[in-house]
Amino acid sequence: MEETVVLGSSDPISAVEKKLCHNIAELEVQASIVMDILSKYSYDYILPVNIDKNNTLLVHSVVAPQYPLITYRNTTIKFVKKFKYLCVQITTKLGWGDYISYRIRRIRNIYNALRILFYRIPLSHLKIRRILFFAFALPHFTSLYSCWFFYTDIQQQYIEHVYCSGLSIIYNLHQWNDITVYILSEEFALRDYLYKYWQNFNAHLDQANEATQFQQTFTAYITVKSPDKSWYRPMGIRINDKFLKRLNKRAKHTKMDLADFFSIQKEQYGYFKRSVSFIHMFAYKYYILPP
């Protein structure tokens, strides 16, 4: 049996005010309690724990943190800098660079295989070339959509550039930039696929019973950002609390980014695919306009 354990402070608001080193002792105590519960559960239900596959991840922003000592039946649980959960790589800094790099490597390996295949499949068989790309490469882009609004602008632009590189392989447009590739290929842009994906996913998150946690986090986000602070006093929180000031300043939510994205992409959906004016402009610039 493998177990995933999430540790936190018994008083998260006061714990955030402290330095990481001051919270290590409390984390060790909580970890000991959790490991005892796991040990009893394993013994009662005769489910052995594979300790070698149980690791601990400490999320922090410290250069050289002190790690708590976590043991299970006198065996020390080792710390790792990243681990994979539901095909998503989670790191100590909660960054997305490793996850994106892993997917892009898979995509580029597929591109190399497509280049070899396309030596035998000429442009006259364009339909077959497109089927191969959308069957083997596009699903890897789809796996990046769920976390899209957590990526930086540079990461989003990089992913879209890799997608355009795939279109340039299909249509043999290696010498052109990304916008020109969209124009000449007349394909859906990556953000068009992202728009359709999040339309369906957002409808699910708003209505499904298993998405209750997401719905509650959005309600909490609205509460934190609200100028009404009447909820401070019943929770025993000071109005000038340092943690709440930082939370109000830094709190973000995917749904707000999604609303902005929908308002823009709704007007631009299928823009390159349905418009022929770009083709006319391209032909005029490169073939008709005198030098």
Domain ranges of the chain: 12-80, 97-189+270-288, 198-263
C-alpha–C-alpha distance, residues 154 and 142, integer Å: 18
Spatial neighbors of 254 by CB under 8 A, at least 6 apart, are 149, 150
Spatial neighbors of 60 by CB under 8 A, at least 6 apart, are 20, 92, 93
Residue 167: half-sphere exposure toward Cβ, Cα within 13 Å: 21
Per-residue pLDDT, 277: 65
Q: 288: which 2 tokens?
A: 């008709």
Q: Which of 86, 70, 87 is nearest to 78 (CA)?
A: 70
Q: b/e map of 177-202 (b: 16 or more CB within 10 Å)?
A: ebebbbbbbebbbbbbbbbeebeeeb
Burial grade of 256 (CB within 10 A; 0-12, 13-18, 19 or more) = middle
Q: 175: which 2 tokens?
A: 């010498």
Long-range contacts formed by 85-88: CB under 8 A, 24+ apart: 85/4, 87/143, 88/147
Spatial neighbors of 113 by CB under 8 A, at least 6 apart, are 136
C-alpha–C-alpha distance, residues 257 and 230, integer Å: 27
Tens-binned pLDDT, residue by residue, of the chain (291 aa): 544 444 544 455 455 556 666 777 788 888 888 888 888 888 888 888 888 878 888 877 777 777 888 888 888 888 888 877 777 778 887 788 888 999 999 999 999 999 999 999 998 999 999 999 999 999 999 999 988 998 999 999 999 999 999 999 999 988 888 988 888 888 999 999 999 999 999 988 888 888 888 888 888 888 777 777 777 777 777 777 777 777 777 777 888 889 899 999 988 888 887 666 666 566 656 666 555
Per-residue pLDDT, 279: 65
CB 138 within 8 A of CB 83: no
Per-residue pLDDT, 89: 79
Q: 3-class DSSP state for residue 89?
A: strand
Q: Which of 133, 141, 127, 139 is nearest to 113 (CA)?
A: 133
For 283, other C-beta atoms within 10 Å of its C-beta total 11
Q: Which helix (H) or strand (E) holds 91?
A: strand 88-91
